[in-house]
């Protein structure tokens, strides 16, 4: 009887050991499967997150600019014409750097403020998009812009579309907003030029998805002033491209006769 109980107990322990090994292998297999799926989908998540982050950040910047700038300045408001003392009928054109620097500073501060408000959970600073759900509580507690997208949409799987678990995506603004002034001058006609002054804004962000992160830069160009500058039309005009000089007869008054 004692031998039978001992044998039965050994058999029970062997079954427990096999069950434990099976459960361990099953858990490891499931974990490995999830890790493999996540590793395959992570590049897709990052690419989708980068697109959405660029969209949100660009719309936040545009929203910030629209609160202050109603119209683009005329180029004549930031251009000064200074007559030259060394030559007749010559005018030197230069930009008013004081106005440009003031617009640059105000724009940078305004965009920085709106991005900070967005990271603190102020939904009024964020754009409304049908396919994005913001996590306001997490944004207020931990900072950063946090939003959810369905796994099927992020993974670009049309069969499940908006179904499936939602993937959290977060992005943080790293450092201050960087801004530079750019100018574009396009010549056309005779002594005419179209001038455009713009501000190039760059925002460095860190994009975070489950088990991965990526650095990205959001760029947006904002026009400050644009307009046409018209100069005097010269009596003789040539582009100087190696062609023949223009055949223009200039009338010369005859010299008076000497008596």
DSSP string, 45-65: HHHHHHHHHHHHHHHHHHHHH
Contact predicate 246/234, CB 8 Å: no
Q: Point out the least confidently predicted range of 32-36, 61-65, 107-111.
A: 32-36
Mean pLDDT of the chain: 75
* pLDDT for 73: 67
CA distance 64 to 110: 6
What is residue 193's predicted lDDT score, i.e. its pLDDT? 79
Torsion, Cα 69 74 75 81, to 10 degrees, reads -130
- Whether 246 contacts 238, CB under 8 Å: yes
Q: Are 130 and 35 in contact (CB under 8 A)?
A: no
The per-residue pLDDT for 28 is 86
Q: Is 244 exposed, middle or buried (0-12, 13-18, 19+ CB in 10 A)?
A: exposed
What value, to the nearest 5°, has the Cα angle with vertex 202 and ends 148 and 67? 75
The angle that helices 97-119 and 2-66 make with each other, rounded to 10 degrees, is 150
Q: Which residue has better confidence, 8 or 42?
A: 42
Q: Is residue 258's pLDDT more than 50?
A: no
Task: Give me the residue label for tokens 């054109």.
Answer: 93
pLDDT winner (highest mean) among 216-220, 229-233, 252-256: 216-220
Over the stretch 137-163, which tens digit does the pLDDT of each residue have?
Answer: 888 888 888 888 877 776 666 666 666
CB 77, CB 103: distance < 8 Å: no
What mean pLDDT do residues 30-43 have? 72
Q: Largest Cα–Cα distance of the chain, in whole Å? A: 161
**Measured distance between the N- and C-terminal CA atoms of the chain, rounded to whole angstroms:** 161
Kindly write down the DSSP assignment for every residue of 112-159, as one continuous string: HHHHHHHHTT-GGGSPP-TT-EE-HHHHHHH-SEEEEEEHHHHTT-TT
List all residues 6 or more positions away from 212 whose beta carbon is below 8 Å from its beta carbon: 42, 45, 46
Q: Which of 26-35, 128-137, 148-157, 170-179 has the highest mean pLDDT?
A: 170-179
Model pLDDT for residues 78-137, shown as the tens digit of each residue: 777 666 665 555 556 677 788 888 888 888 888 888 888 888 888 888 888 777 888 888
- What's the pLDDT at 138? 85
For the whole model, what pTM was predicted? Answer: 0.66
> What mean pLDDT do residues 194-212 have?
86
């Amino acid at each position: 009887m004692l031998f039978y109980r001992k044998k039965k107990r050994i058999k029970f322990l062997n079954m427990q050991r096999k069950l434990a090994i099976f459960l361990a292998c099953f858990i490891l297999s499931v974990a490995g499967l999830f890790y493999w799926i996540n590793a395959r989908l992570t590049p897709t998540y990052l690419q989708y997150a980068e697109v959405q982050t660029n969209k949100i950040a660009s719309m936040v910047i545009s929203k910030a600019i629209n609160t202050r700038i109603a119209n683009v300045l005329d180029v004549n408001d930031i251009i000064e014409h200074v007559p030259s003392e060394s030559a007749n009928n010559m005018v030197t054109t230069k930009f008013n750097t004081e106005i440009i620097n003031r617009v640059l500073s105000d724009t940078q501060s305004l965009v920085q403020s709106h991005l900070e408000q967005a990271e603190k959970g102020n939904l009024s600073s964020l754009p409304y998009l049908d396919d994005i759900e913001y996590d306001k509580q997490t944004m207020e507690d931990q900072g950063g812009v946090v939003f959810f997208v369905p796994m099927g949409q992020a993974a670009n799987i049309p069969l499940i579309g908006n179904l499936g678990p939602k993937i959290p995506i977060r992005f943080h603004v790293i450092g201050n907003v960087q801004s530079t002034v750019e100018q574009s001058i396009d010549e056309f006609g005779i002594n005419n030029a179209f001038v455009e002054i713009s501000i190039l804004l760059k925002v460095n962000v860190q994009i975070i998805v489950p088990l991965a992160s990526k650095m990205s830069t959001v760029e947006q160009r904002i026009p400050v002033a644009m307009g046409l500058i018209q100069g005097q039309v010269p009596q003789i005009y040539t582009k100087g491209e190696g062609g023949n000089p223009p055949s223009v007869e200039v009338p010369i008054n005859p010299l008076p006769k000497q008596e």
